[in-house]
Structure 1
Amino acid sequence: MQLFAYLESFPILHIFELLELTLAIMIKRLLFEEAEITAREFKIVAITGPRQSGKTTLCKHVFKNKHYVSFEDLDILEEADSSPRSFINKYKDGAVFDEIQRVPGLFNYLQTHVDKVGKNNQYVISGSNNFLLQQNISQSLAGRAAYIELLPLSLLELQEHWGNTKNPVFFMMNGFYPSIIAKQSSAERWLPNYLKTYIERDVRMIRNIENLNLFSKFVKLAAARSGQILNVNNLANETGVDNKTISAWISVLESSYIVYRLQPYYNSFNKRVIKSPKLYFYDVGLLCNILGLNSERAIKQSNMYGAIFENLVISEIKKNRFNKSQYGEMYFLRDSTGNEVDLVLEKDGNLIPVEIKSSAKYRSSDLKNLKWFQRLYRIKGGMLINQSTENQELEDGIMNIGWAEVANV
């Protein structure tokens, strides 16, 4: 009762910030320590990532000794925009500037100030619009700022908190955004509002798209192609716009951390490989919501279940690489005759082929494409990731890994 009485003394927005900070303490983000180390080595730390992924919480938790300033506040935005030099002097000892891309005129003054002071760990800047933030950093803060990309919660972070892993359909339905995991809101209500806010606000900021209904149609068509080879011409025809517009709109989704392109692995001696990328969503909860799959039954019965499971696995591996600062690229490989490996990982100079199946049981036919890759590149090993509950070594050094173990890949 004392806790509720305490919370009642706060404005409602402050309560949500308190809940987010509590979640951050309960579920320690893997990038907390990386953010501290990076700040000691650079004058400025730039934290990017999608809206509501926990960037503000990270800033307040890791850099709690710095003043926190959000340019979402219109009064603060106007003050910084009208007198940037005075604004920087007001926070001359350092600060956290959140959503700084909204004040592009501030970057040149920030550059002058950090160069004058000379020391590291001066400012933390953050923003949800990666395109605008990177554009301003490359123009004014190159060599002075280091990037940290914070994606929604990862399976590994949740496993360390929960001690075990829920079934994959739970994550397909709910996704990994902190607000949903913390049960501040249901996925069924939160995710469509997130998408609506993104389209009506962020899309306008990145690119002046007049027909938002047409853009919404494009997003739904893109979701239906998750895990498929990106065919810009086909997507343009179905949306009712030209190819150039589709390419620009995909870049908008990428810069906002809604989707990413998985590039094909290409080697000069293999002339028959498909050279177009595949399209994936960072968050499978958002993907399923866009597809209208809002229940476990609908997801399990969907003809896209296998593609959604593949998206889940690949996105978790992508998060792991961000969170652990692992070097090496991620690809897929498909040739013109239909041979395909879902994922190719670069690690320590080696190639690791990965096949992803939504089934619970291993079948010998599941290894067909992995063996093709082994013959093509004269290697041993590889991974088959499915919904099995036990890991086991198969033939030719291939490991069968249960989906929950993807947190350690």
Structure 2
Amino acid sequence: MRQGIEYTPRRATELVCDALQDTRVIVISGARQVGKSTLAERVLDQVTNSVARFLDDPAVRAAAIDDPVRFIRHDGLMLIDEVQRVPDLWLAIKHLVDREPRPGRFLLTGSARLLALRSIPDALPGRSETIELWPLSQGEIDDEPDGFVDAAFDLGSDLRAEPREFRRKDYLSRAIRGGYPEAVRRDTPRRRHRFFEGYLSDMISRDVKQVADIERTDDMRRLLALLAAQIGGLLNLSRLGSELSISTPTVRKYVEILETIYLIRLIPAWSANTTTRAVATPKMLFVDTGLAGYLSAGAVSDSLTGGLLENFVLGEISRQLTWSQTSARLYHYRDRDQYEVDGIIENNAGEIIGIEVKASETVRSEDFRGLRLLQRKLGSRLRAGFVLYCGQDSLSFGDGLSCLPISALWTTGSK
């Protein structure tokens, strides 16, 4: 166990411990520096007869490459950190857990979406469970409940939030800080800037090259900067290609790589038979708004601030969806008549929570335009529509519609 750094408890810890009771292989996946190894070591401390192998160590990696079958021999739980570094381990693990199918054999971590890597030879259907670890949530940072998603489906528009002393500048400051543990620990913007500078260079020089053979890595850096400048918008591959002077297929390949190494996430468009004019273009989400703020080089504009706060809100919801009791997925909505809803959370029963994000400290009736459209189209399927904004009050705007402070995302307790 690493010493000397204060540990922030992660909600994923319980998910991992539960999975170890009935699943042979548990994979903790997520971006570099989100705390996967630390979380895994914490879990190992609770398990007797456990052992850890770290593939960032050249000697350990050499042993795994030389004899993967011998490398994984152990009677108890084995942690293999950064497992994607030795793809041959994947087949050896599959062979072993097929012959000895007891739960809790392997705890694997990876800084890339393992099944998207061409070097990984096979999946482990029915044998493994993947738990995705995001950067720290605001609730994890502040020791708050992080229960908005469950409460929204449970209470609908009756959900109310306790007022907190947060204003627009406070939310923007949190967004720019981001959730990487190392960035959160740094006290000044200048020190966080240095962290993001090194982090991005490391990701492009190591992780990008591990996923694909990219010769012009400068294009990848420029693409990220363009995505940050257009944060909150739809993903327009042809426009990005034009601005970068590269082909649309190449831009698509680069975007897939950025998804694979957990720098961005694409939010699919939502549509139903009742909304046939919906556009199908996905929206791009930075996994961490701190990195997006760094890439925008401190530029300040209403559109950029609005996009950054929208990304911040949708990122917090995405984090909660990895641990909420409610099984749901996140979408966005936009149609050809210029109606849009920033976030749509749909559960397995087809019930929907609509989310609109506003960077202002006041709310107007017009801010519910997209949500009212969904209400007319969907009727009772729309469980509630919320405008999340930078003010402090929770107010009703008609049956099924209300505004809440953004802080409701993490200060609300679950059912």
- Whether these two folds match at TM > 0.5 is yes
Q: Mapping of 1:144-223 within 5 angstroms?
A: 144-160=127-143, 167-183=170-186, 186-223=191-228
1:141 equivalent in structure 2: 124
- The separation in 2 between residues aligned to 1:61 and 1:165, in whole angstroms, is 34
User: Residues 109 and 42 of structure 1: is their aligned pair in 2 closer, same or farther, counting only changes over 3 Å?
Assistant: same
- The separation in 2 between residues aligned to 1:240 and 1:137, in whole angstroms, is 32
User: Letter of the aligned partner of 1:121 in structure 2?
Assistant: G
- The separation in 2 between residues aligned to 1:184 and 1:305, in whole angstroms, is 22
1:327-374 Cα deviation digits (max 9, x unpaired): 122111111111111111113431122111111112122122211221
Question: Out of 74, 80, 96, which is 1:97 matched to?
Answer: 80
- The separation in 2 between residues aligned to 1:140 and 1:399, in whole angstroms, is 44
Are residue 37 (structure 1) and residue 18 (structure 2) matched? yes
Where structure 1 has 5 or more consecutive residues not aligned to the other structure, the ranges are 1-13
1:18 equivalent in structure 2: 3
- The separation in 1 between residues aligned to 2:27 and 2:119, in whole angstroms, is 11
2:156 equivalent in structure 1: none
1:128 equivalent in structure 2: 111
Are residue 59 (structure 1) and residue 40 (structure 2) matched? yes
Deviation at residue 140 of structure 1 after TM alignment: 4.7
Are residue 384 (structure 1) and residue 399 (structure 2) matched? no
1:396 equivalent in structure 2: 399
- The separation in 1 between residues aligned to 2:114 and 2:226, in whole angstroms, is 23
Residue correspondences, number: 384
Deviation at residue 161 of structure 1 after TM alignment: 6.3
Contact between 1:262 and 1:331, CA under 8 Å: does it hold in 2? Answer: yes
Where structure 2 has 5 or more consecutive residues not aligned to the other structure, the ranges are 147-163
User: Residues 313 and 302 of structure 1: is their aligned pair in 2 closer, same or farther, counting only changes over 3 Å?
Assistant: same
Contact between 2:54 and 2:60, CA under 8 Å: does it hold in 1? Answer: yes
2:151 equivalent in structure 1: none
User: Letter of the aligned partner of 2:351 in structure 1?
Assistant: N
User: Letter of the aligned partner of 1:104 in structure 2?
Assistant: P
Deviation at residue 271 of structure 1 after TM alignment: 2.6
Identical-pair percentage: 26
Deviation at residue 220 of structure 1 after TM alignment: 0.9
Question: Out of 227, 230, 243, which is 2:232 matched to?
Answer: 227
- The separation in 1 between residues aligned to 2:199 and 2:283, in whole angstroms, is 24
Q: What is the RMSD of the two structures over their aligned residues, measured on CA atoms?
A: 2.3
User: Letter of the aligned partner of 2:261 in structure 1?
Assistant: S
User: Residues 136 and 199 of structure 1: is their aligned pair in 2 closer, same or farther, counting only changes over 3 Å?
Assistant: closer
Deviation at residue 63 of structure 1 after TM alignment: 1.6
Deviation at residue 197 of structure 1 after TM alignment: 0.4
1:73 equivalent in structure 2: 57
User: Residues 184 and 194 of structure 1: is their aligned pair in 2 closer, same or farther, counting only changes over 3 Å?
Assistant: farther
- The separation in 1 between residues aligned to 2:127 and 2:361, in whole angstroms, is 49
1:314 equivalent in structure 2: 314
- The separation in 2 between residues aligned to 1:251 and 1:378, in whole angstroms, is 36
User: Letter of the aligned partner of 2:373 in structure 1?
Assistant: W
1:234-268 Cα deviation digits (max 9, x unpaired): 11111111111111111111111111111111113
- The separation in 2 between residues aligned to 1:311 and 1:126, in whole angstroms, is 26
Select between 199-208 and 59-68 the one with higher mean Cα deviation.
59-68
Deviation at residue 278 of structure 1 after TM alignment: 0.9
2:285 equivalent in structure 1: 280
Contact between 1:225 and 1:279, CA under 8 Å: does it hold in 2? Answer: no
User: Letter of the aligned partner of 1:365 in structure 2?
Assistant: E
Contact between 2:87 and 2:121, CA under 8 Å: does it hold in 1? Answer: no
2:94 equivalent in structure 1: 111
Select between 348-357 and 242-251 the one with higher mean Cα deviation.
348-357
1:290-313 Cα deviation digits (max 9, x unpaired): 1101xxxx54x5541111111101
Partner of 1:68, secondary structure, is strand
- The separation in 2 between residues aligned to 1:138 and 1:41, in whole angstroms, is 24
Select between 182-191 and 302-311 the one with higher mean Cα deviation.
182-191
Partner of 1:264, secondary structure, is coil
Higher helix proportion (structure 1 or 2): 1
Contact between 1:310 and 1:357, CA under 8 Å: does it hold in 2? Answer: yes
- The separation in 1 between residues aligned to 2:93 and 2:379, in whole angstroms, is 52
User: Letter of the aligned partner of 1:177 in structure 2?
Assistant: Y
Deviation at residue 323 of structure 1 after TM alignment: 2.7
Question: Out of 396, 399, 405, which is 2:408 matched to?
Answer: 405
Contact between 2:387 and 2:404, CA under 8 Å: does it hold in 1? Answer: yes
Are residue 85 (structure 1) and residue 69 (structure 2) matched? yes
Deviation at residue 376 of structure 1 after TM alignment: 2.0
Which one scores higher on RCO, CA 8 angstroms, separation ≥ 6? 2
1:362 equivalent in structure 2: 363
Deviation at residue 134 of structure 1 after TM alignment: 6.6
Select between 204-213 and 390-399 the one with higher mean Cα deviation.
390-399
- The separation in 1 between residues aligned to 2:116 and 2:44, in whole angstroms, is 20
